[in-house]
Amino acid sequence: MSEAGLEKTQKNSFEKQFAKREMFETAGGTAEVVDIRPDKMKDDVPVFFAPAWACTLPIYKIALKTEVEQGRRTISLNHPRTGGEVILRDDEKELVADYPPIEVQKALTIIDILQKKEIETTDVIAHSEGSINSAIAALLLARRAKEVGKEAPIQNMVFFGPPGLIGEDTFPRLLKGFAGQNDAKPTLAEMPSAPEASDDEKIRTDTVGGVPINYPEIRPNAEAQESIVGPGKIPVVIKELGKFTIANPLRSFQEGWGMSQVHMEGLISKLREYGIGIVIMSAVDDPVFPTERMATLLKKGSVDGFLSVRGGHGQIGDNPERYMVAANQMLENLRNRKK
């Protein structure tokens, strides 16, 4: 088969799998799930993608496709908007008492999906709010696994633009940050190399010259934009955000409020005690959870890696060919460290 023919076959395979939705009854209600396998899997460990607040499968279509192209079975969901019931043991209630109840419920939704699909081990890539609920899921699963002498089912996690790591926050500040996502993102433009060092600087630093580093413009991914914007007058992303919010305004408010109140430092510390690898990716033009505040809060050695990248809060969906690929590489690095 020609390269073009193979690419067409792979695309058709993805489209068919993405269109198939599995419905699971979970702690949060009825969850809509996609489970997409590449034509050739790198190994048996899938990647669970935990979505951001009010973001749904259509918004992440090309991001998921990009992850599948890395040879990883990829699972994600539309979080339920109604129904469900939270059932925890007393000791588990105490374990997660510091975290927003709605995020605990979403964590249990993730756990139910993994268990019903009989997935014993997975890695996680999480975007924004998804970092909270996937981290809580990882903590509960790790506690349960330890009780029966097993390793944590979620072994490695990459958080892109996570909440709860910028110190004290407020809901109005959070909403202002989300509203600022349409502002210009200077670091996506072409960035010239640093100027040549002066003679005095060369002498002082014992160097003979600078190392030029050029950063070309990061242009919009046409395929991702087609998925996110669509052909209609109203962009797909706006339609999806609207449907998500209107389906349960109270739950949507609880999720947003929870993001503004949560503190992730202690949660991450607990995860690392169970041997779970954590890498944080933060975009320098992100007005939602600013990089400079995050870098100030995080102490040396508190995570396995901190990657500061160009662009804004939604860049993992806007340019998955760069940021989803980078997140997957961070997972690979974490896995290789454990070998």
Going from N- to C-terminal start, the domains of the chain cover 18-189+219-337
* pTM check: above 0.85: yes
Average pLDDT of the segment spanning 280-287? 95
Residues 197 and 212: their CA atoms lie apart, in Å, by 11
- Once rounded to an integer, what is the mean pLDDT over residues 220-245? 88
Angle at 124 (CA atoms; ends 53, 304), nearest 5 degrees: 105
Band (100; pLDDT cuts 50, 70, 90)? very high
**What distance in Å separates the CA atoms of residue 108 and residue 28, rounded to the nearest whole number?**
7
pLDDT digits (tens, 9 = 90+) for 187-214: 898 876 655 556 665 555 454 445 555 6
User: Residues 187, 217: contact at Cβ < 8 Å?
Assistant: no
Across 169-189, average pLDDT: 92
Provide the residue type at 164 as one letter: G
Residue 260's CB is within 10 A of a number of other CB atoms, namely 18
What local confidence, expressed as pLDDT, does residue 36 receive? 98
Weakest mean pLDDT among 144-158, 198-212, 311-325:
198-212
How large is the average pLDDT for residues 20-25? 97
CATH for the stretch 18-189+219-337 = 3.40.50.1820
> How large is the average pLDDT for residues 56-64?
96
Confidence grade of residue 11 (pLDDT, cut at 50, 70, 90): low
Which are the contacts of 112, defined by CB distance < 8 A and separation ≥ 6?
A: 24, 25, 26, 27, 31
Share of the chain above pLDDT 70, in %: 90
Residue closest to 51 by CA, chosen among 60, 39, 43 = 60
The token duo for 116 is 């019903």
Sequence-distant (6+) residues with CB within 8 A of 311 are 185, 187, 188, 218, 283, 284, 285, 286, 318, 319, 323
What's the pLDDT tens digit per position in 233-270?
A: 788 888 999 999 999 999 999 999 999 999 999 999 99
If you search the block for the tokens 């395979």, which residue do you land on?
13
- pLDDT tops 80 at residue 8: no
